[in-house]
Chain A
């Protein structure tokens, strides 16, 4: 699988490890892959993001991811669902932080996959990939195959990321990047309906 990754897709995997190290995360998670995707330039993925207006908004995405970490890794949709039960997540976060310090609820993924992945030779790191991040890499292969592409590029990583529920996809959607909008700019799908709206 690894040999089918384009130069840009490999750079994303390596970059994700770098972001995990910088943020002192124990595992490489999907949010780190997203940050690495935003670092790319002149790739198919970065062109797609730019045409959806995300160019230069990396800091805004990074801030939204940091906020979600502080909420224990819960997304705003999660927060809304809890508020439907009468539970105010913001109150819980602030009480826990009062007692245990700022960032006390910051999520730590405890679900590192077992063993080294095929990419460990590529990145040479000791930091394991969390299960969600591994699944994302595997899913990108499926996306490429379904698209009948012979390579796996950063655009396939983006498509796989936006197809998965969770904080990274939600943050991207808040910035106007969804699975459907990506497919539209990458493959021209659903152009007719898009123009109507």
Chain B
């Protein structure tokens, strides 16, 4: 079908482009998922400290990233 589909079908070829593309996509998906979960936790009254502990990062890091929302 599309070139991309074709690329995906050859994922077993060890073509670095496919692996790197997947990593990049996964990273962006992760960012979106994190935003959804942090927003949900805040809506349920979680503190930044609690959220940071679950994510395994510092409270400042979470607050800096999502604090304005």
Q: A100 to B35, alpha carbons, bound, how many Å?
A: 12
Chain A residues 80 to 126 lying within 8 A of chain B, measured CB to CB, are 80-85, 87, 89, 92, 96, 99-100, 104-105, 107-108, 110
Question: Contact between A78 and B36 (Cβ–Cβ < 8 Å)?
Answer: no
B22 surroundings in chain A (CB, below 8 A)? 81-82, 84-85
A166 to chain B, nearest CB (A): 11
A77 surroundings in chain B (CB, below 8 A)? 2, 4, 7, 21
B interface: dominant SS: helix
Say yes or no: is B18 at the interface (Cβ < 8 Å to chain A). Answer: yes
Q: A85 to B7, alpha carbons, bound, how many Å?
A: 12
Q: A164 to B8, alpha carbons, bound, how many Å?
A: 21
Assign chain B's interface to a size class: 20 to 34
Question: Contact between B32 and A84 (Cβ–Cβ < 8 Å)?
Answer: no
Q: Answer whether A92 and B18 are a contact pair too, CB < 8 Å, given A76-B4, A84-B8.
A: no
Closest to A89 in B: B29
B65 surroundings in chain A (CB, below 8 A)? 110
Question: Contact between A78 and B25 (Cβ–Cβ < 8 Å)?
Answer: yes
Question: Contact between A74 and B29 (Cβ–Cβ < 8 Å)?
Answer: yes
Question: Contact between B25 and A82 (Cβ–Cβ < 8 Å)?
Answer: yes
From the candidates B8, B11, B32, B40, name the one contacting A73 in the complex (CB within 8 A): B32
B32 surroundings in chain A (CB, below 8 A)? 72-73, 105, 107
Can you list, as one digit per residue, whether each of B1-37 has a CB less than 8 Å from chain A (1) or not (0)? 0101101100100000010011011101101110110
Q: Answer whether A80 and B36 are a contact pair too, CB < 8 Å, given A74-B25, A74-B28.
A: no
Q: A72 to B25, alpha carbons, bound, how many Å?
A: 10
- Residues in B lying within 8 Å of A, measured CB to CB: 2, 4-5, 7-8, 11, 18, 21-22, 24-26, 28-29, 31-33, 35-36, 40, 65
A77-B7, A85-B11, A174-B2 given; 17 more Cβ-contact pairs under 8 Å: A72-B29, A73-B28, A76-B2, A78-B21, A81-B7, A81-B11, A81-B22, A83-B8, A84-B8, A84-B18, A85-B26, A87-B26, A92-B29, A96-B33, A100-B36, A100-B40, A110-B65
- Residues in A lying within 8 Å of B, measured CB to CB: 72-74, 76-85, 87, 89, 92, 96, 99-100, 104-105, 107-108, 110, 170, 174
